[in-house]
Amino acid sequence: MSYYVSEAKKFLEAALIEFERGEKERSDVIIRDAAEKAWNAVLQATNALLIGRGFSEEKVKSHRDRRLALNSLELKDPQIRAMGFRDRFGAREHYLHEMCFYEGEYLPEGVRHDILKVKSYIDDVEKALKE
């Protein structure tokens, strides 16, 4: 699990650096790549959470697998439900991965805000794994 959390933090840091560079250079491609790196940070953190809570790596390989596993986990675990991981995962998937990276539909400040939410998501995964 610590591997996945470490990877999540690396991708988040790369996303922040790339986003700042994209803004400075006014580069759509770089900003969109930053959003995708932030989305990958969410994936890595989610893997840490799910594997740490008993799911096998084989059961969390796809985005669909992760969504289903988060839903299942929230139904069983009130602490996880209270932290809203399923909804937060879905929101980052939609805004960072789908809208920004794939569709190119974004406002830079919105992307910055979503990247900062990824940091909060990773922090909460770490808290959930300690309890």
* Length of the chain (residues): 131
Rounded CA gap, 71 and 113, in Å? 25
Domain of 48? Answer: 2-130
Query: Could you give the number of structural domains in the chain?
Result: 1
Structure confidence by residue, pLDDT tens digits, 39-97: 999 999 999 999 999 999 999 999 999 999 999 999 999 999 999 999 999 999 999 99
CATH of the domain at 78: 1.20.120.330
pTM: 0.95
Distances (CA, A) of 86 to 26, 28, 33: 33, 29, 23
SS3 54: coil
Token pair of 95 as six digits: 């805004």
